[in-house]
Amino acid sequence: MSTPVIRTQGLTKEYVLGAETVRALRDVDLTIERNEYIAIMGPSGSGKSTFMNLIGCLDTPTAGQYWLDGTPVSGLVDDELARIRNHYIGFVFQTFNLLPRATALHNVELPLIYAGISKKERIERAVDVLEKVGLGDRMEHKPSELSGGQRQRVAVARALVNRPSLLLADEPTGNLDSKTSTDIMALFDELHAGGQTIMVVTHEHDIALHAHRTVTLRDGIIETDVTNDRALAAAGSAPAR
Amino acid sequence: MSLLEGILLALNQIRAQKLKSFFAVLGVIIGTMFLITVVSVVEGMNRYMEEDFAGAIYGLNTITLSREPEISFSSDPDVYREYRRRPRITFQDADAIRAGLTVPALVAVESYSGGNMVSELGIEIENVWLTGASADLLRIRDMDIEQGRGFTAPEDRAGVPVIVLGAETASTLFGSLDPIGRSVKVRGATFRVIGVMKKQGSLFGMSMDNRALAPARSPMGRLVNPQGIVDRVLVKPFETDDMAQAQIDIEAIMRVRHKLRGAEDNDFAIETAAESMSFWENIRKILMIAFPGLVSIALVVGGIVIMNIMLVSVTERTREIGIRKALGARRRDIHVQVLVESATLSLLGALLGIAVGVVLAQIVQALSPLPAAIAPVWMGVSVMMGVSVGVIAGLYPAARAARLDPVVALRAE
């Protein structure tokens, strides 16, 4: 069996608020294999944002271990984490988080700039991935000139351009209407079918149903971890667990 | 990210906020502008002093003996009272020097005055610069004759009333007519025109061509000075190396003639062009030290303004920085980005300041007799100062931006 994309052991995050210590995440053990499509659910305050920040290497755990694609990342510092994010993770945010003054192409090019890739290759890869998400004709547009769905596609393209081990989406349809949401989720399904490992953090059941496995967090611990039969049936394949 | 990309990014940012960027670098613009203007004028003055002024007043490699210094900056009235008590310089002094010099040299007397001149056609000019001089003065002062000839030593000795006119004087008095052989009158004395000088241009806005030169012993001598008195004696050794010896000789001869005892100060002035420059050198030194000092105060203020604007800019772009960090930007990347932006901003300010400064220097040159010489070295200095101010002003904002926590930054509005 290949190395899991994600493996956490006793992952714990505590925040100190005044005299009180809040345990946002307690001893979470989770393994995600290659090409899994997993949804993280939970009410607000359940620790799912904290979990996502840790998985996305935006934050460091108070205790516990985390291996990303076999690399131990729990002990890394700021700049090392930046490199890990750049190489292994593709982010899709609820609010798109595109640079407003940059074109779609430049937004997608951004991770490659920080990866130190030459201008020529950057453009090639950015154009390639923009075409893949169906925005081949919108590359010189700025975010303000694009619809919500198109913006999120730019964000997806940006997330994919570095060929990440994990596509990490935080409420990817939270700011989209239902028609556009369906389109974006269809794109995710397509990417998953192409071999991409995907983690979606959401509180919407409809969205979670696209995933093949749903992990529900409550009060910082894993409450349930179930395979999603309907999604599996639709995809017609066994989960890679 | 390469430096070029960083600069392009910074230019985009600056272009997006033109007005704000302009005000951010106003201090740098003004500082640089004044630096360039003042340095240009001072350098222009300097060149002028060295090339024209000193040469025109004293003549190059020429020793001037006079009653009092030609240029004096003393504010003490006692000094001037002492000058007025000194004996005048006479023809006899010049003759004694000519006889007593131990090195070969040209010796000439010279006296100035201003006065009106009337041509035989009845045309009158006011305030002509009248000079009574020895024949050798033409050689000492390098005055070239354009037309006709200069007067000779025998004509001077005999006091023949001949006159050489300045280019402007000749053309005003005689228009297109040939002035040679015609006559002019100065305070009732009639002179025959024998030559016209080459055009000289102007000095501090004063024409050097409205003048007339006649032998010192002709009636001109009496017109410009009391009988037997001259303004100064000029001595120009044939060899430049003999300057020092000639000065020693003149001083010794004059001390004997004025019967000065060992401890008494000279009651005459011996000057050379090189020495006369020393007063100007002092002024220049003070200006060149004081002015950059003042400018650096302006640049410090300019730097503080840039720092503040960059801090605001970094705060406004917290989310952008969060996005960049999430996508893999390291602290160094953010740090460099902010520094490059700040340096680019300040550099643009400096370039703008240089441009305005150069224009201002030209305007000063056009509107006043002050000449201007743009010094490329100082442009380089300004550019370097601009970049330095930008980098220094950017350090703190850059450090703040680089330290941002991506989780917090992404949550910012």
Q: Secondary structure of B31-71 in the HEC alphabet? A: HHHHHHHHHHHHHHHHHHHHHHHHHHHHCCCCEEEECCCCC
Distance CA(B370)–CA(A196), nearest Å, equals: 76
- Same structural domain, B282 and B197: no
Domain total in chain A: 1
Q: Would you say residue A117 lies in a domain?
A: yes
Q: Would you say residue B76 lies in a domain?
A: no
Identify the pLDDT of residue A239: 46
Q: pLDDT averaged over consecutive 10-residue blocks of chain A (241 residues)? A: 88 90 92 94 89 93 93 90 94 92 93 92 94 92 93 94 94 90 92 94 89 92 87 57 42
- pLDDT at B322 exceeding the cut of 60: yes
Contact A85 B327 (CB under 8 A): yes
For residue B329, the chain A residues in CB contact (below 8 A) are 82, 114
- Same structural domain, B125 and B152: yes
Amino acid (1-letter code) at residue B44: G
What band does B161 get if pLDDT is binned at 50, 70 and 90? very high
**Are A57 and A84 within 8 A, CB to CB?**
yes
- Same structural domain, B166 and B26: no
**Phi-psi region at A39: left, alpha or beta (left = phi > 0; alpha = psi -120 to 50):** beta
- The dihedral sign for the CA sequence B20, B23, B24, B29: positive
Instruction: Compute the nearest-CA separation of A124 from chain B (Å).
Output: 17
For residue B325, the chain A residues in CB contact (below 8 A) are 82
Q: Would you say residue A11 lies in a domain?
A: no
- Same structural domain, B34 and B94: no
Contacts of A20 (CB under 8 A, 6+ apart): none
**Dihedral of the CA atoms B304, B309, B310, B311 (nearest 10)?**
90
- What CATH number is given to the structural domain containing A157? 3.40.50.300
Domain of residue B240 covers 87-267
Q: Would you say residue A2 lies in a domain?
A: no
- pLDDT at B60 exceeding the cut of 80: no
Q: Which residue has the higher pLDDT, A89 or B54?
A: A89
Instruction: Compute the nearest-CA separation of A181 from chain B (Å).
Output: 23
- Same structural domain, B113 and B43: no
**Residue A219: φ, ψ to 5°:** 50, 40
Q: Which two tokens stand for residue B56?
A: 């025109």
What band does B204 get if pLDDT is binned at 50, 70 and 90? low
DSSP A123-136: HHHHHHHHHHTT-T
Average pLDDT (B250-260) is 91
pLDDT digits (tens, 9 = 90+) for A63-81: 999 999 999 998 898 899 9
Identify the pLDDT of residue B140: 87
- pLDDT at B328 exceeding the cut of 90: yes
Distance CA(A126)–CA(B277), nearest Å, equals: 68
What band does B175 get if pLDDT is binned at 50, 70 and 90? confident
Q: Would you say residue A106 lies in a domain?
A: yes
Q: Would you say residue A163 lies in a domain?
A: yes
Q: Would you say residue B190 lies in a domain?
A: yes
Which residue has 């060929």 as its token pair? A163
Instruction: Compute the nearest-CA separation of A58 from chain B (Å).
Output: 6
User: DSSP state, B373?
Assistant: -
Distance CA(B403)–CA(B413), nearest Å, equals: 18
**Are B325 and A82 within 8 A, CB to CB?**
yes
Mutate to test the interface with B, among A25, A89, A97, A161 (most CBs of B within 10 A): A97
Point out the least confidently predicted range of B212-226, B287-301, B345-359. Answer: B287-301
Q: Which of B236, B267, B298 is the last residue of a domain?
A: B267
- Same structural domain, B217 and B99: yes
- Same structural domain, B223 and B289: no
CA nearest B15 in A: which residue? Answer: A101
DSSP A162-221: T--SEEEEESTTTTS-HHHHHHHHHHHHHHHHTT--EEEE-S-HHHHTTSSEEEEEETTE
Distance CA(A158)–CA(A126), nearest Å, equals: 8
Q: Report the half-sphere exposure of B264 (CA within 13 A, side-chain side).
A: 13
Q: Would you say residue A159 lies in a domain?
A: yes
For residue B333, the chain A residues in CB contact (below 8 A) are 114
Identify the pLDDT of residue A127: 95
Rg, C-alpha atoms of chain A: 18
Q: Would you say residue B27 lies in a domain?
A: yes
- Same structural domain, B147 and B225: yes
Q: In this predicted complex, what is the ipTM? A: 0.92
Point out the least confidently predicted range of A1-15, B238-252, B274-288. Answer: B274-288
Q: Chains A and B: how many Cβ contacts under 8 Å?
A: 54
Q: Would you say residue B72 lies in a domain?
A: no
Contact A79 B323 (CB under 8 A): no
pLDDT digits (tens, 9 = 90+) for B369-384: 777 787 788 899 899 9
- Same structural domain, B96 and B243: yes
Contacts of B329 (CB under 8 A, 6+ apart): A82, A114, B321
- Same structural domain, B397 and B353: yes
- Same structural domain, B262 and B369: no
- Give which of B371, B404, B378, B402 is closest to B50, Cα–Cα: B371
Domain total in chain B: 2
Rg, C-alpha atoms of chain B: 32
For residue A115, the chain B residues in CB contact (below 8 A) are 328
Distance CA(B393)–CA(B387), nearest Å, equals: 10
Q: Which two tokens stand for residue B213?
A: 């030169």
Domain of residue A160 covers 34-60+76-229
Give kind and range of the element (H or E) at residue B158. Answer: helix B153-158
pLDDT digits (tens, 9 = 90+) for B182-199: 999 988 889 999 999 988
CA B55 from chain centre, in angstroms, equals 13
Q: Which of B267, B287, B308 is the last residue of a domain?
A: B267
Q: Would you say residue A49 lies in a domain?
A: yes
Identify the pLDDT of residue B205: 66
Q: Would you say residue B263 lies in a domain?
A: yes
pLDDT digits (tens, 9 = 90+) for B62-90: 888 999 887 766 778 888 888 888 999 99
CA nearest A86 in B: which residue? Answer: B328
**Are B171 and B123 within 8 A, CB to CB?**
no
Question: Taking all residues of chain B, what is their mean pLDDT, rounded to a whole number?
Answer: 87
Map residue A63 onto helix, strand or coil.
strand
Distance CA(A33)–CA(B116), nearest Å, equals: 110
- Give which of B231, B109, B124 is closest to B186, Cα–Cα: B124
- pLDDT at B308 exceeding the cut of 80: yes
